[in-house]
A and B are shown apart, each in its own frame.
Chain A
């Protein structure tokens, strides 16, 4: 187990570096000059040249990316071209709000979707099942830039229960996490229903029932445990997507996370910050995948044995 974990952890960095290399090269292909953002309209060509030289922007792109790697290996993600603050500092102050929002959304999605999905599986074909499936369809098809303002209008403006936006106190996370979790909840609900139905029709469940085991025990000890594998895969994959896909929700709710940082940095052609954010996102994805794999070990002894053999 220890060797496997170490091997996976060691893989994290080369994988992230590949992602950063490609993103680093590609961002330079976007037309537009960061010097325009730094120097403004009134600077002279001499000053623009000096800025380009100071920031290493006069070097060929592959060389710039290589210098960036050198810094990353030494633990230095560079400095923002625009406000000159350390990229690591910028990422650190934004990472907590993003993780906080993603985790709250995932917890919310699990709390809502898993019990409801199980319920829909048990009462398959009933009115409750139809209502739940219809709601999940709405959740899947409602874009966050529409759902967000609708929720704000009702809960904040009409009822005055919650703040419109910002990150000030516990109440401010409720609406953004509902919006962020809406599509995840919908797909998780459907996935839970399908997995539970699959297990409920399996031979071992019939055997358990014929042995006289109670429905609650069958459900918690057998069905849930076996269905958990596909649910875990879904949560694992979605968590990565949640962390990186918060841009619109962060914008609507004015949530100061990594999504808005990367969007602003692309707009400003702030290469080091974009690269730093991509590096962080890729680490997130890879770590989430690793944690998901580790969860498989806990859930299914067959996988555990197969991996270690």
Chain B
């Protein structure tokens, strides 16, 4: 009997030793859940969205982006083009890393030197810095970026998180304890199921002193945790169908703001049917985007006219959105040489195949598109697959049609990256193999221009060409949404989905 009793005690002590309890007081801790664990804590290797969100808390950067995704100065107090190939950046003084060392121009230089080095392990961001020749320190708080060719988009690249000189020149950091950042928070605890961040200045007037990020894979579990007041925020990762029930729970609130991510339907130009612009235009006319937005997104999106959101400063307001017009779609298809077939004209004109991921919303959209296409006489087969296979097929040009989301758009250079001939994979994201010499010239010219107004006009022309050419059907810009606990005050949503609004949150006294 004694041995059984001792075995039970041993079993409990041994196994439950690993169970963890929170080390931060609830009234100072902001609790949120993410679906995935960030893949990198080293800002030089950050490519996934979760790592970027984490980077916003623990690292600082020369520039940042505001709520509407427009560039703002951050660590840089001043920025000016000396000539078309030289950018002068002045640093804010009195900003320190978490090891209490002040950030100097040498630190910044070491970070950008890493991206342009030719030997050793390189960063996934290195290709973006192909125009950067060297970084020169002028003073302790001033440096010059020398470019090999004019690049007006270069400033948007300065949003990468900064490390101290010694770490920036060294090997990849995968141990969270070794990370030294200059953001408002530092990593207090990195466990298998969660991360705890602690504000570096606990005497600050800001109320959020800790951020607890739990990794909750299951969508239903995230919602149940919110219902059970175990979380303060879940952003963009709760099924929209459940959002309608939020008002039933008095302790939860729903927030919504315009988003800048763009969902599109891509066309493969090498396909004999889709090569014809009239067919692509007919497909664009056959989609009732407003209806899909209403039924699948519960109205939480706006129809897209181009890849940039309407509030982007490079957006061309004179663009005409493509109308839903079944008759026009059928006229174009007839003109393109694809008449209705069969005795009673019930057979499809042709069959297309759409590739998509296993994501439930994307699949619903695919089925809605199939129904829309059927009305104009196009049969649509849907093939859903896991992300790895989907991405590989789309990049290799093995997809006739595909639906995807452009996220993290940081400037109008996206038109070069997505549509210019030089960006056909593996050299970029022109997955549809679009080749339009006039567009190619225009996006290169716009990229080289550093004057905002001239750039804007050039990109407006590029947007007009893209609209006529229809390499994509720009479907919609999904809204950003979040479910927050009633105790959270002043949380602001950002159009790009970042979570920096947490820093300014305050807590209400009542629970």
B is bound to A: yes
B residues 422-442 touching A (CB-CB < 8 Å): 426-427, 429
Is the Cβ of A254 less than 8 Å from the Cβ of B215?
yes
How far is B131's CA from A44's CA once the two chains are assembled, in angstroms? Answer: 13
Is the Cβ of A170 less than 8 Å from the Cβ of B217?
no
* A58 within 8 A of partner (CB): no
Q: Which of A44, A152, A164 has the most CB of B within 10 A?
A: A164
Tell me the nearest residue of chain B to A101, going by C-beta.
Answer: B15
* A31 within 8 A of partner (CB): yes
- 3 closest pairs, A vs B, by CB? A32-B388, A40-B47, A44-B127
Q: Which of A36, A149, A170 is in CB contact (< 8 Å) with B16?
A: A170
For residue B36, which residues in chain A have a CB less than 8 angstroms away from its CB? 264
* A137 within 8 A of partner (CB): no
Q: Which of B121, B192, B214, B387 has the most CB of A within 10 A?
A: B192
Is the Cβ of A166 less than 8 Å from the Cβ of B392?
no
For residue B221, which residues in chain A have a CB less than 8 angstroms away from its CB? 149, 152, 164-165, 251-254
* A217 within 8 A of partner (CB): no
Given A100-B16, A103-B11 in contact, is the A47-B388 Cβ separation under 8 Å?
Answer: no
Is the Cβ of A94 less than 8 Å from the Cβ of B192?
yes
Is the Cβ of B40 less than 8 Å from the Cβ of A32?
no
Question: How near does chain A come to B398, taking the closest CB pair, in angstroms?
Answer: 10
How far is B216's CA from A234's CA once the two chains are assembled, in angstroms? Answer: 33
* B327 within 8 A of partner (CB): no
How far is B428's CA from A39's CA once the two chains are assembled, in angstroms? Answer: 12
Q: Which of A43, A164, A252, A255 is in CB contact (< 8 Å) with B230?
A: A164
For residue B170, which residues in chain A have a CB less than 8 angstroms away from its CB? none
Is the Cβ of B20 less than 8 Å from the Cβ of A38?
no
Is the Cβ of B39 less than 8 Å from the Cβ of A82?
yes
Is the Cβ of A260 less than 8 Å from the Cβ of B217?
yes
Is the Cβ of B127 less than 8 Å from the Cβ of A47?
yes
CB within 8 Å: A-B pair count: 144
For residue B228, which residues in chain A have a CB less than 8 angstroms away from its CB? 156-157, 160, 163-164
* A76 within 8 A of partner (CB): no
Given A30-B389, A45-B426 in contact, is the A254-B218 Cβ separation under 8 Å?
Answer: yes
How far is B391's CA from A50's CA once the two chains are assembled, in angstroms? Answer: 20
Q: Which of A30, A85, A169 is in CB contact (< 8 Å) with B174?
A: A85
How far is B311's CA from A305's CA once the two chains are assembled, in angstroms? Answer: 83
How far is B17's CA from A167's CA once the two chains are assembled, in angstroms? Answer: 11
Is the Cβ of B15 less than 8 Å from the Cβ of A157?
no
Q: Contacts A157-B228, A167-B19, A253-B221 given; 10 further ones with Cβ under 8 A?
A: A32-B392, A37-B39, A157-B227, A164-B225, A164-B228, A166-B214, A170-B16, A170-B19, A252-B218, A256-B215
Tell me the nearest residue of chain A to B387, going by C-beta.
Answer: A267
For residue A268, which residues in chain B have a CB less than 8 angstroms away from its CB? 388
Q: How large is the interface on A (under 10, 10 to 19, 20 to 34, 35 or more residues)?
A: 35 or more
How far is B224's CA from A152's CA once the two chains are assembled, in angstroms? Answer: 8
Given A45-B427, A47-B126, A165-B216 in contact, is the A267-B18 Cβ separation under 8 Å?
Answer: no
* B124 within 8 A of partner (CB): yes
Is the Cβ of A251 less than 8 Å from the Cβ of B230?
no
Question: How near does chain A come to B472, taking the closest CB pair, in angstroms?
Answer: 16
* B193 within 8 A of partner (CB): yes
* A207 within 8 A of partner (CB): no
Question: How near does chain B come to A151, taking the closest CB pair, in angstroms?
Answer: 11
Q: Which of A42, A163, A167, A169 has the most CB of B within 10 A?
A: A42
Question: How near does chain B come to A145, taking the closest CB pair, in angstroms?
Answer: 8
Cβ proximity bits B9-50 to A, threshold 8 Å, 1 near / 0 not:
001100110111110000000000000110110000001000
For residue A152, which residues in chain B have a CB less than 8 angstroms away from its CB? 221, 224
A residues 221-257 touching B (CB-CB < 8 Å): 251-256
How far is B172's CA from A94's CA once the two chains are assembled, in angstroms? Answer: 24
Is the Cβ of B193 less than 8 Å from the Cβ of A47?
no
Tell me the nearest residue of chain A to B231, going by C-beta.
Answer: A164
For residue B121, which residues in chain A have a CB less than 8 angstroms away from its CB? 50, 54
* A23 within 8 A of partner (CB): no
For residue A156, which residues in chain B have a CB less than 8 angstroms away from its CB? 224, 228
A residues 257-287 touching B (CB-CB < 8 Å): 260, 264, 267-269
Tell me the nearest residue of chain B to A165, going by C-beta.
Answer: B221
For residue A43, which residues in chain B have a CB less than 8 angstroms away from its CB? 124, 126-127
A residues 39-74 touching B (CB-CB < 8 Å): 39-45, 47-48, 50, 54
Cβ proximity bits B391-410 to A, threshold 8 Å, 1 near / 0 not:
11101000000000000000
How far is B36's CA from A267's CA once the two chains are assembled, in angstroms? Answer: 12
Q: Which of B12, B122, B386 is in CB contact (< 8 Å) with A50?
A: B122
* A168 within 8 A of partner (CB): yes
* B149 within 8 A of partner (CB): no
For residue A39, which residues in chain B have a CB less than 8 angstroms away from its CB? 47, 124
Q: Which of A31, A48, A96, A99 has the most CB of B within 10 A?
A: A31
* A215 within 8 A of partner (CB): no
* A97 within 8 A of partner (CB): yes
* A302 within 8 A of partner (CB): no
Is the Cβ of A38 less than 8 Å from the Cβ of B19?
no
How far is B230's CA from A36's CA once the two chains are assembled, in angstroms? Answer: 35
Question: How near does chain B come to A50, taking the closest CB pair, in angstroms?
Answer: 7
Is the Cβ of A254 less than 8 Å from the Cβ of B127?
no
How far is B20's CA from A164's CA once the two chains are assembled, in angstroms? Answer: 15
* B349 within 8 A of partner (CB): no
> Could you list 27 examples of A-B contacts with CB < 8 Å?
A31-B389, A32-B387, A36-B395, A37-B388, A43-B126, A44-B426, A45-B426, A48-B426, A50-B122, A82-B39, A83-B40, A84-B174, A96-B15, A97-B18, A99-B15, A100-B18, A104-B15, A152-B224, A156-B228, A164-B224, A164-B230, A166-B193, A168-B22, A170-B12, A173-B19, A251-B218, A256-B215
For residue A168, which residues in chain B have a CB less than 8 angstroms away from its CB? 19-22
* A153 within 8 A of partner (CB): yes
Is the Cβ of A269 less than 8 Å from the Cβ of B21?
no
Is the Cβ of A44 less than 8 Å from the Cβ of B427?
yes
How far is B425's CA from A70's CA once the two chains are assembled, in angstroms? Answer: 35
Is the Cβ of B15 less than 8 Å from the Cβ of A103?
yes
* A172 within 8 A of partner (CB): yes
Given A38-B124, A41-B429, A85-B174 in contact, is the A256-B193 Cβ separation under 8 Å?
Answer: yes
How far is B21's CA from A264's CA once the two chains are assembled, in angstroms? Answer: 25
For residue A36, which residues in chain B have a CB less than 8 angstroms away from its CB? 388, 391-392, 395
For residue A82, which residues in chain B have a CB less than 8 angstroms away from its CB? 39
Tell me the nearest residue of chain A to B175, going by C-beta.
Answer: A85
Tell me the nearest residue of chain A to B12, going by C-beta.
Answer: A170
For residue B270, which residues in chain A have a CB less than 8 angstroms away from its CB? none
For residue A54, which residues in chain B have a CB less than 8 angstroms away from its CB? 121
Is the Cβ of B391 less than 8 Å from the Cβ of A40?
no
For residue A198, which residues in chain B have a CB less than 8 angstroms away from its CB? none
